[in-house]
Copies of this chain bind each other. A is one copy, B any other.
Amino acid sequence: MSAVLVVNSGSSSLKYQLIEMTGEQVLASGLIERIGEDVGVVNHRNVEADPDNPIVSEEPIKNHVDAFAVMLARFAEHGPSMEEHPVLAVGHRVVHGGKRFFEATRITDLVKINIQDLAELAPLHNPANLDGIVAAERAFPSVPHVAIFDTAFHATLPEKAYRYAIDRELADRHRVRRYGFHGTSHQYVSRAAAEFLGKDVTELNQIILHLGNGASATAVRGGESVDTSMGFTPLEGLVMGTRSGDVDPAVLVHLQRVAGLSAADIDTLLNRKSGLLGLAGAADMRDLEARAAEGDEIAITALDVYNHRLRGYVGKYYVDLGRVDTIVFTAGVGENSAPVRARALAGLERLGIKIDPTRNEGRGGPKIISTDDSEVTVLVVPTNEELEIARQTLAAIEG
């Protein structure tokens, strides 16, 4: 048996999954947080043996090298055994692949230099991803490491969709274009939806709505991303937990002028204190739905703004695709919130979209939530970025 270790490293965190590829079974998963702080938190789950009881502990974790040492210690102590399930390869989530990386790529020194170079475009993410790679290479020196880029699925965007209407030369010099993110999820979900329907992904025009804490919409034609709502960074597009999504760029200039905010302040404001949090003081959709149910006007407005934006992207991509076969909801909100889904597609009978309220109830999937006579098939399909990363990792080392 042979497994792939999937790694997602943030600046102060490390998420991992060990996946047995024969049956695509998750053997273990974990989350190490507060790396670099006084006390780190380690959460390890032996999914194979004891899925309901994570082992939680606290201890100082200096850096990502330490984090991998702790991870290996948990595996050794609580299982599953890495001898029984030898790690065949490590798959790393990397946020920004720029224009260089269109697909899963075996990590070499040159690849690492390129990931570092792309830090200019993703200053928060790429350096942290690289820290994880370097630490993982030390922990697993004799297996191949593969980078899976969050931007790669959007490498197929046509120029009309990726080019902003700003000075061409300046944009090219500073690598300003729409890259799109959540690519691994959009790729996984678009394929999983096709499979669930017993269709060939190349024959479907799809709109994928990834609604989590971060949120993005993608138009997928015949399996290829042709437009997506996140742009140069993950800030653009839909209303998210703490991100504004679309906003008149002149608002930034205005706030710098009248409120005395710096460019860095604005960055923090729009990425961390906006979205649902900025609108209503809570980033979590469950909180807002509970408050809205009690008649809280602020929460109701926040949901209205969220929904209005979302519907706008459905329309935008409908026109782009000309004909839509499926609309797919995924991620935390998309998989679990029937009211969000119902509102997003209400009143669109003219576009051949009819939701069945009973089918739409409840959580999880994959399932169809449109009526039998709905021209567009609407689905809920749980995303699984880790599995997609593991699959692509395997393909990259076999290919």
Closest to A274 in B: B166
Which of A245, A247, A306, A352 has the most chain B CB within a 10 Å cutoff? A247
- CB-contacts of A162-190 with B (<8 A): 163-168, 170, 174, 176, 178
10 contacts between A and B (CB under 8 A): A159-B301, A165-B278, A170-B259, A176-B251, A176-B255, A236-B250, A252-B252, A311-B319, A312-B316, A313-B316
> Is A266 interfacial (CB-CB < 8 Å)?
yes
Residue A235 contacts which of B160, B236, B250, B271 (CB distance < 8 angstroms)? B250
Q: Which residue of B lies closest to A234 (CB)?
A: B250
**Interface hit among A3-11, A41-49, A135-143, A343-351:** A343-351
Which B residues lie within 8 Å of A158 (CB)? 304
Complex Cα distance A280/B232, Å?
A: 21
Q: Is there a chain B Cβ closer than 8 Å to A307's Cβ?
A: yes
Is A120 close to B, CB under 8 A? yes
Residue of B nearest to A232 (CB): B248
**Is A295 located at the chain interface by the 8 A CB criterion?**
no
- Are B348 and A322 in contact, CB atoms less than 8 angstroms apart? yes
Query: What's the Cα separation between A252 and B267 when bound, in Å?
Result: 9
A194 interface contact, C-beta 8 A: no
- A128 contacts the other chain (Cβ, under 8 Å)? no
- Given the complex of chains A and B, what is the CA–CA distance between A279 and B172 in angstroms? 11
Let me know if A167 and B233 touch, CB within 8 A.
no
Do A168 and B248 have beta carbons less than 8 Å apart?
A: no
Any chain B CB within 8 A of the CB of A126? no
The reply on A161 being an interface residue by CB < 8 A is: yes
Residues from 230 to 277 in A contacting B, C-beta threshold 8 Å: 231-233, 235-236, 239-240, 243-259, 263-264, 266-267, 269-271, 273-276
Q: Beta-carbon contacts of A274-293 to B below 8 Å, as 1s and 0s?
A: 11101110000000000000
Tell me the count of chain A residues lying within 8 A, CB to CB, of chain B.
80
Are the C-beta atoms of A246 and B244 separated by less than 8 Å? no
User: Chain B nearest CB: distance from A208 CB in Å?
Assistant: 16
Q: Is A305 an interface residue (CB 8 A)?
A: yes
Q: Which residue of B lies closest to A178 (CB)?
A: B248
Cross-chain contact B278 with A253 (CB below 8 angstroms): no
Interface string of A291-335 (1 = CB under 8 A from B): 000000010011011111101111111111011000000000000
Q: Within 8 Å CB of A258, what residues of B?
A: 120, 174
Min CB distance A178 to B, Å, is 7
Q: Would B254 and A232 count as touching, CB distance under 8 A?
A: yes
User: Which residue from B252, B279, B320, B348 sits with its C-beta under 8 Å from A163?
Assistant: B279
**Contact status of A174 and B312, CB under 8 A, knowing A164-B244, A319-B351:** no
Q: Give every chain B residue within 8 A of A264 (Cβ-Cβ).
A: 253
CB distance from A307 to the nearest CB of B (A): 7
State the CA gap A398–B276 with chains docked (Å): 46
Known: A165-B309, A249-B251, A252-B253. 15 other contacts (CB 8 A): A121-B254, A163-B279, A165-B240, A166-B279, A167-B278, A168-B280, A174-B258, A231-B247, A232-B251, A232-B254, A233-B248, A250-B267, A256-B263, A315-B317, A318-B351
